[in-house]
Each structure stands twice: as structure tokens, then as C-alpha cells.
């Protein structure tokens, strides 16, 4: 039987935030690239995952497939204020509103991604989003993990261990970013809004009593307004960065891709 647990550290925080942030894609058939990253902070290894089901074909777009982008790794020593909402100027509020409108405009999107873990390791894969609240991640082998959200629960499947762990979607930032509409300044705890010639960056802080504080930094293009990448910082301070490309918002996604098999009895329910 599937196990229902409280969220652990980087594994589920990263998975959930990956799903949440991919929802910020606004136009169909958009190939994207990013500059080369700075060296990644040396830390514990990242979780590398792929689907336990037969792999689906990569997301298709009308444009020629782009070369997988190189994520821009944030400075591991960066400092982010605990809360600077009161000091946001009119330009920062306008930038946050622009990103909010962009996120709210989406319904269905698919594409490819490159993930860089805290130790610099890279994994690639395909993703599928259907708002509200549905997502599927398929990572390239040899990773044994599959991630699926059905609108209310998030399932993390491990093919090698024959496990399926369940987590309430309400315990992840997905409840914000996979909703039909979002106003970042009102619905989330935005702690930073910055912009330069290349990117608009919005950092959201998520505090949970039993888990600790995690952060999500969204980066969209300053010129085209499209999602380029995001970084999730787990409660232990480790960063996982994901860049997206070959994006498609016109492709029809099979609703069956987001179904969780709650009758999976391969793993016993923990006592109590």
C-alpha cells in the first residue's frame, strides 16, 4: 500500500518545486537557452529521478529542438532578506505583477528540462503540466524515481525499491503555483524581486513548522517574459537548479498521465 508521509528534505522539496515552477511557461513552441553556469556548491548528492512507467516521447514543438540549456547556478553565499515586502518599490511590484499574470495565463504545458543538483550533477527529462495541480516528471535513466501529482496528492515512486510515497499537495508550494490564478505578492511570501538586462527574479519563501524554511527563486526573461529556470533551496540550505526548454502550451496532454494508483499494495502501510 502506498505510504503517506510528511515531506522529507531535499528530495520532495526539490521535486515539488520543480513541478511548481514549470507551470510558469506562457507561450507555445518556444525553444530557450541560458548562459553557462557558475560552479555548483559542493554538498550532498541530489536525487535523480525518472518514470517507473514506459518513457513517453519528448515534448514536441513547432520550432527546431533547442540544445539543452546550461542552468545559471546562484551564488551559494547570497543573502536574501527574511521579508522586504514593505520596501518593494513600484517597479518591483510591477515586475511581480507581470510574473503573476504570466503564471495565471497557463493551463497546459510540456517540454524538457535540465536539473543541476547541489553537487553539480546533471539530469535531464520531460515534463507535463495540466492546471490546476497536475504534473508528471519523467527523468532519463538510470534514475528510478517517478513524480506525479493528480491535483490533490503528490506521489513519488521508486522503481528499484518498489515503493510509492504520498504527500498532500497542500504541503508543497504547488498549491500556489499550480493554481488557476496566482498573485505572488498576496498569495505567497515574496522576499525578493530583482531585475537586470537578462532576467526578472522573484524569490518566494515557504515556512513550515516541522520541515523548516525553503525558498524558490523563479527567473524569467527580461525581454521575452518567458520562464528560463528556477532554483529551490531546501531547509538545509542546498540548491537545486532547473532550466527549461522546448516548451509547448498547445499540445494536448493525456489526463491518464496524472493518475496515481492508490491500490498499489506493494509496500505496507507503516504502523500507527
Residue 133 has pLDDT above 60, yes or no: yes
C-alpha cell at 42: 559542493
The confidence score (pLDDT) of residue 103 equals 87
**Is the C-alpha dihedral spanning 102, 229, 158, 269 positive or negative?**
negative
The per-residue pLDDT for range 27-49, each reduced to its tens digit, is: 222 233 333 333 333 333 333 33
Strands (DSSP E) contained in the chain are 3-4, 108-116, 122-130, 134-139, 145-150, 153-158, 163-168, 189-195, 199-208, 212-221, 227-233, 239-248
Q: Nearest CA to 237 among 78, 22, 15?
A: 78
> Which helix (H) or strand (E) covers residue 11, if one does?
helix 10-22
Q: Nearest CA to 242 among 8, 40, 4, 30?
A: 40
Q: Which residue has the cell 496532454?
A: 253
Mean pLDDT of the chain: 75
The confidence score (pLDDT) of residue 7 equals 45
Alpha helices in 155-242 (DSSP H): 174-177, 184-187
The confidence score (pLDDT) of residue 28 equals 26
The confidence score (pLDDT) of residue 172 equals 74
* CA–CA distance, 90 with 103 (Å, rounded to integer): 20
* CA–CA distance, 193 with 200 (Å, rounded to integer): 7
The confidence score (pLDDT) of residue 48 equals 36
* CA–CA distance, 133 with 78 (Å, rounded to integer): 31
Residue 4 has pLDDT above 80, yes or no: no
Averaged pLDDT, 227-238: 90
Burial class (CB in 10 A: 0-12, 13-18, 19+), 155: buried
Query: To 5 degrees, how large is the angle CA 188–CA 116–CA 60?
Result: 85
The per-residue pLDDT for range 197-222, each reduced to its tens digit, is: 999 999 999 887 777 888 899 999 89
* CA–CA distance, 225 with 199 (Å, rounded to integer): 9
The per-residue pLDDT for range 63-76, each reduced to its tens digit, is: 556 789 889 888 87
C-alpha cell at 146: 517517478
In terms of pLDDT, which residue wins out, 162 or 266? 162
Amino acid at each position: 500500500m502506498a505510504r503517506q508521509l510528511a515531506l522529507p528534505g531535499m528530495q520532495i522539496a526539490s521535486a515539488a518545486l520543480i513541478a511548481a515552477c514549470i507551470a510558469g511557461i506562457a507561450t507555445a513552441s518556444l525553444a530557450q537557452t541560458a548562459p553557462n553556469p557558475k560552479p555548483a556548491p559542493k554538498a550532498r548528492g541530489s536525487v535523480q529521478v525518472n518514470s517507473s512507467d514506459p518513457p513517453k516521447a519528448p515534448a514536441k514543438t513547432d520550432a527546431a529542438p533547442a540544445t539543452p540549456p546550461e542552468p545559471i547556478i546562484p551564488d551559494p553565499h547570497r543573502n536574501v532578506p527574511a521579508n522586504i515586502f514593505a520596501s518593494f518599490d513600484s517597479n518591483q511590484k510591477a515586475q511581480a505583477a507581470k510574473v503573476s499574470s504570466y503564471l495565471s495565463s497557463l493551463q497546459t504545458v510540456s517540454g524538457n528540462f535540465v536539473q543541476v543538483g547541489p553537487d553539480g550533477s546533471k539530469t535531464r527529462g520531460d515534463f507535463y503540466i495540466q492546471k490546476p495541480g497536475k504534473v508528471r516528471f519523467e527523468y532519463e535513466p538510470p534514475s528510478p524515481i517517478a513524480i506525479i501529482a493528480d491535483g490533490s496528492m503528490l506521489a513519488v515512486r521508486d522503481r528499484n525499491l518498489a515503493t510509492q510515497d504520498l504527500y498532500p499537495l497542500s504541503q508543497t508550494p504547488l498549491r500556489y503555483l499550480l493554481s488557476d490564478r496566482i498573485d505572488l505578492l498576496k498569495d505567497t511570501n515574496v522576499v525578493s524581486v530583482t531585475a537586470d538586462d537578462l532576467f526578472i527574479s522573484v524569490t518566494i519563501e515557504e515556512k513550515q513548522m516541522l520541515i523548516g524554511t525553503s525558498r524558490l527563486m523563479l527567473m524569467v526573461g527580461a525581454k521575452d517574459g518567458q520562464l528560463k529556470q528556477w532554483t529551490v533551496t531546501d531547509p538545509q540550505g542546498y540548491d537545486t537548479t532547473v532550466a527549461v526548454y522546448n516548451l509547448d502550451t498547445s499540445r494536448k496532454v493525456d489526463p491518464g498521465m496524472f493518475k496515481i494508483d492508490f491500490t498499489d499494495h506493494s509496500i505496507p502501510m507503516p504502523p500507527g
